[in-house]
């Protein structure tokens, strides 16, 4: 019988992840509760969210999280590792493990998709009062991904733009899609009875990270009716009443 010489087999302890948690802490202004995911590394999160990783490992001396060519600071307690990072852009990140026995760290790759905070939207419908030509009625709708801070009506005489009037309109700051109603009496500008006017609406979102984003409606023009136009409107209404009798 032929026998080879004896060899010693050394079993290397391979580092591995037993389980991990990913906690998402959302920016306070979006009014979302924190979320906890188990063993999920691929994420889709709002801009400015804070990600907290907790890794439970075995046979692991070192664990590293690398994102956008930067390392996430980690705390180590035996085989438990934790780290936190605020995320502002979509990226791929890797998690690598190593110990004294493994020269080249093993790694896992995940992706983070960042959802941007969009501009609010604003739509306006308007109608002139059938009797008083200086009354304009407005119906508006506003929408945003997270909420609002201000909704205002701006009006000024075309020949005196510095004499602008800004009116705050009541609304629900947390309701993402809503309608509002408003009426303005252009005769309230007593000092500018012969002037035409321009006016518009503005809405601002609640983005506390980048600053409030403002959307503006189109700029409308109000033609101040002359006395002849007012009398002609009244005559027309009288004629319509008589026709319906």
Is the model's pLDDT at 148 over the cut of 80?
Answer: yes
Give per-residue pLDDT as tens, 79-125: 999 999 999 999 999 999 998 887 777 789 999 999 999 999 999 99
When the pLDDT of each residue in the chain is averaged and rounded to a whole number, the result is 90
Spacing of C-alpha 234 from chain mean position:
49
Give per-residue pLDDT as tens, 35-64: 999 999 999 999 999 999 999 999 999 999
Residue (of 160, 148, 167, 170) closest to 215 by Cα position: 148
Spacing of C-alpha 137 from chain mean position:
30
Give the C-alpha distances (Å, rounded to integers) separating 61 from 12, 17, 53.
Answer: 13, 12, 17
Give per-residue pLDDT as tens, 153-186: 999 999 888 888 999 999 999 999 999 999 999 9
For 54-87, letters b (16+ CB in 10 Å) and e give bbebeebebbbbebeeeebeeeeeebebbbebeb
Rounded to an integer, the average pLDDT of 137-160 is 96
Is the model's pLDDT at 241 over the cut of 60?
Answer: no
């Amino acid at each position: 019988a032929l026998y080879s010489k004896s060899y010693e087999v050394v079993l290397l302890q391979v580092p591995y992840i037993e389980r991990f948690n990913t906690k998402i802490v959302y920016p306070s202004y979006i009014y979302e509760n924190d979320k906890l995911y188990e063993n999920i590394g691929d994420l889709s999160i709002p801009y400015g969210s804070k990600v907290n990783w907790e890794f439970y490992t075995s046979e692991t001396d070192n664990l590293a999280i690398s994102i956008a060519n930067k390392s996430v600071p980690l705390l180590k307690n035996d085989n438990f590792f934790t780290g936190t990072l605020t995320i502002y852009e979509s990226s791929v990140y890797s998690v690598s493990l190593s110990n004294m026995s493994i020269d080249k760290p093993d790694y896992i790759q995940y992706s983070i998709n960042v959802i941007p905070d969009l501009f609010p939207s604003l739509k306006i419908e308007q109608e002139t009062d059938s009797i008083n030509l200086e009354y304009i009625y407005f119906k508006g709708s506003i929408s945003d991904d997270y909420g609002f801070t201000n909704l205002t009506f701006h009006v000024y005489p075309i020949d005196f733009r510095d004499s602008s009037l800004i009116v705050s309109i009541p609304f629900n700051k947390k309701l993402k899609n809503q309608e509002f109603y408003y009426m303005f009496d252009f005769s309230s500008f007593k000092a500018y009875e012969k002037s035409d006017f321009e006016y518009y609406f503005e809405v601002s979102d609640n983005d506390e990270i980048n600053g409030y984003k403002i959307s503006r409606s189109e700029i409308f023009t109000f033609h101040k009716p002359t006395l002849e136009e007012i009398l002609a409107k009244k005559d027309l209404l009288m004629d319509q009443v008589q026709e319906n009798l």
